[in-house]
Chain A
């Protein structure tokens, strides 16, 4: 990462809370406060909050905004009403992934908010600009002006209503948002998240983000670091760019084909995905469970019984909620069917396991 490491608007609070800090996506971010297990369980059983202010917010507006977003985005925003959120990817022409992102259709016409991964903000913004030729749109990277707090867990609705008084939250379904007024500034209340639980993501000015965070802290909401953000999203079967998606992994290979609307007339990468659908893919993302407490980690080889390497682990943990050693792995397609026996090499030992469903934990989203 060039230049100085960035800090979010909540950095001071993390340090004051004694968080273990570590560089992530160019930001000095909290990995854990009380401990990953405690924070993970707070989100699963009650409520926790995350500083995700490092995420990028890029606004697209103008007469061609809808046509343009559909050009760079795999999902189809046509017919989606204001207040709705869609998940999908931006692809290179070869089907490799520029980033995965959320698209918010704004209440004003011809305006969208695109929320992208922190590590990819500059790359994404550049990609958007380069692919906007011929479209009458304004592309406005406001990432440095917005803070974001994710409030996640079964008590998140109660928290947002009782602690923050954000009444519009109550009527939201999952992947819907509303605008609230906070000290005269815009506050986006989004029912969404990355944990497999019900939850909200609040986008606010930097000063408001600090005030909201402090109110939540005073109310006893557990601060949660990026450590448990990863264990939670992993259990819920959600991909992380850099692990399960990359410029070398297409959404079809990652099992995210439902977010790619091949019936749209056009988007960047569409032809590559159509070809992959027709011809099949060489590798596929699967879940694997091993029958031991050893932990399969990113980069460890997946093998057959005779030691032939047939894949690689992308993310793995000894799951906190399920007490099983499980991982995502990219494996040759012929070994990707459920119950296929596979072995994972962990340092000097090899552990037997089998292919299981990728959604390890049953998600509890608000319907």
Chain B
């Protein structure tokens, strides 16, 4: 069973969002990291890049394949988790602890379109 954290918002492309004021902290779910296997590379945007809700902002790569990352919200990248870029396996170790980017949201109401923990749990149907 994959871990799901209460109080976060979830996208149907398996990203999670935690909000601190108007900052969205974005990572991938435990389910996603399990599906991918050993993550060997994290492709991140640069700070100050614009991201769009539903738009690709980077990718996670396992030995076998690349999986695009999609932003659950629109806004401007304020921070990239360099620890994860340097050591991609951190995402496998704890996908909720090891966020990928932080985004200053341009429209916090976009969060309403995302799933809560119980809806996401139903969505992945484990």
Contacts and interface: CB of A to CB of B under 8 A. Distances in A.
Contacts of A347: 43, 56, 58-59, 66, 68
A320 B63 contact: yes
Interface in A8-53: 20, 31-32, 35-37
Nearest to A38: B38
Interface in A123-154: none
B37 A36 contact: yes
A294 interface: yes
Which of A31, A294, A349 has the largest number of chain B CB atoms within 10 A? A294
B125 interface: no
B66 A36 contact: no
Interface residues of B, number: 15
A31 B56 contact: no
Contact of B64 (A31, A293, A294, A346): A31
A20 B58 CA distance: 25
Nearest to B88: A293
Nearest to B62: A36
A320 B37 CA distance: 15
A295 B59 CA distance: 11
Nearest to A31: B64
Contacts of A317: 63
B125 to A, nearest CB: 18
B120 interface: no
Contacts, number: 41
A15 B97 CA distance: 32
Contacts of A349: 43
A250 interface: no
B37 A295 contact: no
A297 interface: yes
Interface SS of chain A: helix, strand, loop or mixed? Answer: mixed
A227 B63 contact: yes
Interface in B45-74: 56, 58-59, 61-66, 68
Given A294-B43, A347-B43, A227 B64 contact: yes
Contact of B37 (A35, A231, A293, A346): A35
B85 to A, nearest CB: 9
A295 B64 CA distance: 10
A346 B41 CA distance: 12
Interface in A83-141: none
B104 interface: no
Interface in A333-367: 346-347, 349
Contact of B41 (A20, A231, A318): A318
Contacts of B43: 294, 346-347, 349
Interface string B67-99: 010000000000000000000000000000000
B38 A35 contact: yes
Nearest to A227: B64
A349 B57 CA distance: 12
B11 interface: no
Given A294-B43, A347-B59, A20 B37 contact: yes
B118 to A, nearest CB: 27
A315 to B, nearest CB: 12
A346 B63 CA distance: 15
A295 B38 contact: no
A355 to B, nearest CB: 22
A346 B68 CA distance: 12
Interface of A: 20, 31-32, 35-37, 227, 230-231, 293-295, 297, 317-318, 320, 346-347, 349
Interface of B: 37-38, 40-41, 43, 56, 58-59, 61-66, 68
List the 7 closest pairs (A to B, CB-CB), nearest first.
A36-B63, A295-B61, A293-B41, A227-B64, A318-B40, A35-B38, A37-B38
24 contacts: A31-B64, A35-B37, A35-B38, A36-B37, A36-B62, A36-B63, A36-B64, A37-B38, A227-B64, A231-B63, A293-B41, A294-B41, A294-B43, A294-B61, A295-B40, A295-B41, A295-B61, A318-B61, A318-B63, A320-B63, A347-B43, A347-B56, A347-B66, A349-B43
